[in-house]
């Protein structure tokens, strides 16, 4: 069996090494057009920032190490330029000598990754880089060193360097953070109305606040018109000085070889594969960013460019190839759909997500419930507790978990992984309340943030409580519902939602008769006291809903909308709020 692999990083090298573990006799050749294989692309931004000081730490393997341990024939500086499916050969160009050769295969694995696209208008004359390869970071760090001058350890760089990062997605924000860590003045430009587009706007607003707090000039609803003479011009007519531009505007699956060879391209625009990573040609496999995935929420085709999936599918392709060979070892299992679990760190704030957002669910018309909570990562009485904001999306009909987003500090990573695992295992949202999770005060709470999510979800599913979302509040008030803030008078005086009246939770029973007539919306700071108030009032016969996530979520949503009207979760009808009044002077006092 002769197996050729195109691309020698995440998916390709996983396929190659797994293949060797399954078949000692196979001939395995890996072609990599770059000069490095199996490098840590996810670590590249941290080398720019200086957090990873040793460049060699990025280079996890070499052709020599892969040859000695796995007997792989790894050919760097070799680009596969075409596939002849009838002859079962590929043509390969040596990028150093220009020599073109032909290599035959029994099986071929395409792991060529993704391509970038430039959004910069022609004629821009500033240095422009992407942040995808070792060569990219070598060039970026050399440019930064040149631009900042020699400087010294005591005084820092001799000159301030300025950069514009186009695209405020995952890699864009990693670039921003690491440039700032290097002392670069950064402008982050985002075409959409918010940073981190896959997040819902009220979850993204705190991330934008963190960026601004670290001196980043964040510009949403903005695109770059051009760059020349050391300045970058934006769509709003303003411009900034810049020494370099980093483009992080997203990636597209690299389908060039597959398309030219007549392989089926899926609806998502990536290479179609079956559930064993086989393309429309049974002798050719595709894995990684170039290959189509099945979305676990919709069951439909999707594109997800993540390292974990590339590694998993590389392994799956090798399993499938081993099974298709004579003397099959029977290791292939059908691929699981993908949930799109992702995490990024920005100046100590962790942002994580899985599954679908509320915006996406609304656009698809899928009935859903939303839960916002703001728990601490561990017991509040134990030093160092940090608050996180959690959002859970739940199928209204089945109670299935459809997605989650978490922004905070410590403990965000483990909570998103618990939710992702619960989703993979088919647990309902209410079942999160019953998960038995590790607890000691420095690690969690006896009611872990995951359990708390489950309690709220369970209450909503059972109808024990009713809630409304921050973006639904204006319409509710316009329709005549009264907003009752059940926080303390001090909290109310410090900051409140326009139109709210203040009746602290502990006074609610005494003042019950004085509340405005008609349906009520109650709220507190994070939703918990609001829930108690809603339970009290509904048991006393009032029609009441709790503002989900309380003032904190509402304020984050308001901040998102203030930054851009395009940050709306869903198009909202124009409303003019009706300000409710308390029925007695006593309550006002």
Ligand X SMILES: Cc1cc2nc3c(=O)[nH]c(=O)nc-3n(C[C@H](O)[C@H](O)[C@H](O)COP(=O)(O)OP(=O)(O)OC[C@H]3O[C@@H](n4cnc5c(N)ncnc54)[C@H](O)[C@@H]3O)c2cc1C
Residues found near ligand X in the complex (CB under 6 A): 6-7, 9-12, 31-34, 41-42, 44-45, 79-80, 111-113, 131-132, 171, 254, 257, 288-290, 305-308, 310
Terminal alpha carbon distance of the chain:
85
**311/528 with CB nearer ligand X:** 311
Backbone φ and ψ for 81, nearest 5 degrees, come out as -110, -10
**221/413 with CB nearer ligand X:** 413
User: In terms of Cα–Cα distance, which of 305, 342, 361 is closest to 196?
Assistant: 342
CB of 481 to ligand X, least distance (A): 43
CB atoms within 10 A of CB 190: 26
**351/526 with CB nearer ligand X:** 351
Angular region, 262: left φ>0, alpha ψ -120 to 50, beta rest: left
CB of 348 to ligand X, least distance (A): 16
DSSP category for residue 9: S
Rounded to whole angstroms, the Cα distance separating 560 from 90 reads: 51
Backbone φ and ψ for 459, nearest 5 degrees, come out as -60, -40
CB of 94 to ligand X, least distance (A): 11
CB of 358 to ligand X, least distance (A): 23
DSSP secondary structure string, 361-400? HHHHT--EEEEEE--BSS-TTSTT--B-EEEEEEETTT-B
**181/437 with CB nearer ligand X:** 181
What dihedral do alpha carbons 224, 227, 230, 232 form, nearest 10°?
-10
Indicate which residue of 524, 537, 560, 582 is catalytic.
524
Rounded to whole angstroms, the Cα distance separating 319 from 21 reads: 10
Is residue 88 classed as helix, strand or coil in its secondary structure?
coil
Is residue 136 classed as helix, strand or coil in its secondary structure?
helix
Which residues on adjacent β-strands are paired with residue 467? Answer: 546
**306/582 with CB nearer ligand X:** 306
Rounded to whole angstroms, the Cα distance separating 316 from 330 reads: 12
Per-residue buried b or exposed e for 397-422, using 16+ beta carbons within 10 Å of the residue's own CB? eebbbbbbbbbbbbbbebbbebbbeb
Q: H or E segment at 176? A: helix 170-181
Rounded to whole angstroms, the Cα distance separating 549 from 207 reads: 17
CB of 268 to ligand X, least distance (A): 14
Is residue 31 classed as helix, strand or coil in its secondary structure?
strand
User: In terms of Cα–Cα distance, which of 103, 99, 77 is closest to 91?
Assistant: 103
Q: What is the CA radius of gyration of the chain?
A: 27
CB of 92 to ligand X, least distance (A): 8
User: In terms of Cα–Cα distance, which of 415, 428, 343, 353 is closest to 378?
Assistant: 415
CB of 260 to ligand X, least distance (A): 11
**116/280 with CB nearer ligand X:** 116
Q: Which residues contact 64 (CB under 8 A, 6 or more apart)?
A: none
**165/306 with CB nearer ligand X:** 306
Is residue 545 classed as helix, strand or coil in its secondary structure?
strand
CB of 130 to ligand X, least distance (A): 8
Rounded to whole angstroms, the Cα distance separating 336 from 355 reads: 14
Question: Are 580 and 501 in contact, with CB atoms under 8 Å apart?
Answer: yes
**12/197 with CB nearer ligand X:** 12
CB atoms within 10 A of CB 33: 19
**524 part of the active site:** yes
Chain position whose Cβ is nearest to ligand X? 288
**306/569 with CB nearer ligand X:** 306
Q: Which residues contact 173 (CB under 8 A, 6 or more apart)?
A: 188, 195, 196, 207, 211, 344, 346
CB of 101 to ligand X, least distance (A): 13
CB of 21 to ligand X, least distance (A): 18
**79/239 with CB nearer ligand X:** 79
Q: Which residues are catalytic?
A: 524
């Amino acid at each position: 069996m002769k197996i050729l692999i195109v691309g020698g990083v995440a998916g390709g090298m996983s396929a190659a090494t797994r293949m060797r573990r399954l078949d000692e006799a196979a001939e395995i050749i890996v072609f990599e057009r770059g000069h490095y294989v199996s490098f840590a692309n996810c670590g590249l931004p941290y080398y720019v920032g200086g957090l990873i000081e040793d460049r060699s730490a990025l280079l996890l393997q070499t052709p020599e190490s892969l040859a000695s341990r796995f007997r792989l024939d790894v050919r760097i500086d070799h680009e596969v330029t075409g596939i002849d499916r009838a002859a079962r050969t590929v043509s390969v160009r040596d990028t150093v000598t220009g020599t073109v050769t032909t290599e035959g295969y029994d099986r071929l694995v395409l792991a060529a990754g993704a391509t970038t696209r430039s959004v910069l208008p022609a004629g821009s004359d500033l240095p422009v880089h992407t942040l995808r390869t070792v060569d990219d970071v070598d060039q970026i760090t050399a440019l930064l060193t040149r631009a900042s001058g020699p400087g010294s350890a005591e005084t820092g760089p001799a000159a301030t360097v300025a950069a514009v990062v186009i695209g405020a997605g995952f890699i864009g924000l990693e670039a921003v953070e690491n440039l700032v860590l290097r002392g670069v003045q950064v402008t982050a430009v985002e075409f959409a109305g918010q940073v981190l587009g896959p997040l819902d706007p009220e979850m993204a607003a705190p991330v934008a606040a963190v960026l601004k707090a670290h001196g980043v000039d964040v510009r949403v609803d903005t695109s770059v018109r051009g760059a020349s003479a050391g300045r970058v011009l934006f769509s709003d007519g303003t411009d900034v000085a810049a020494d370099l531009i980093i483009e992080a505007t997203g990636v597209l699956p690299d389908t060039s070889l597959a398309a030219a060879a007549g392989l089926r391209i899926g609806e998502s625009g990536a290479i179609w594969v079956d559930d064993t990573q086989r393309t429309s040609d049974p002798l050719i496999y595709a894995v990684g960013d170039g290959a189509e995935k099945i979305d676990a929420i919709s069951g439909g085709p999707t594109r997800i460019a993540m390292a974990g999936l590339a590694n998993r599918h590389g392994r799956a392709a090798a399993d499938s190839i081993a099974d298709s060979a004579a003397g099959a070892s029977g290791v292939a299992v059908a691929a699981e759909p993908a949930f799109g679990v992702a995490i990024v760190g920005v100046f100590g704030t962790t942002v994580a997500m899985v599954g679908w957002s509320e915006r996406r669910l609304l656009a698809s018309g899928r009935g859903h419930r939303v839960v916002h909570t703001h728990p601490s990562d561990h017991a509040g009485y134990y030093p160092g507790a940090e608050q996180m904001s959690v959002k859970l999306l739940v199928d209204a009909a089945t109670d299935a978990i459809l997605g989650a987003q978490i922004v905070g500090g410590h403990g965000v990573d483990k909570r998103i992984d618990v939710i992702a695992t619960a989703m993979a295992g088919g647990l309902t949202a209410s079942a999160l309340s019953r998960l038995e999770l590790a607890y000691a005060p420095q690690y969690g709470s006896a009611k872990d943030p995951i359990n708390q999510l489950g309690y709220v979800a369970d209450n909503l599913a059972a109808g024990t409580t009713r809630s409304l979302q921050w973006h639904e509040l204006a319409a509710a008030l316009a329709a005549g519902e009264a907003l009752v803030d059940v926080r303390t008078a001090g909290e109310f005086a410090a900051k409140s939602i326009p139109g709210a009246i203040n009746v602290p939770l502990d006074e609610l029973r005494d003042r019950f008769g004085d509340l405005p007539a008609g349906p009520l919306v109650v709220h507190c700071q994070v939703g918990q006291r609001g829930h108690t108030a809603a339970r009290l009032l509904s048991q006393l016969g009032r029609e009441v809903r709790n503002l989900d996530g309380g003032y904190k979520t509402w304020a984050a949503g308001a901040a998102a909308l203030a930054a851009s009207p395009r940050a709306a979760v869903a198009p909202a009808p124009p409303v003019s709020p009706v300000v409710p009044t308390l029925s007695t002077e006593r309550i006002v006092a």
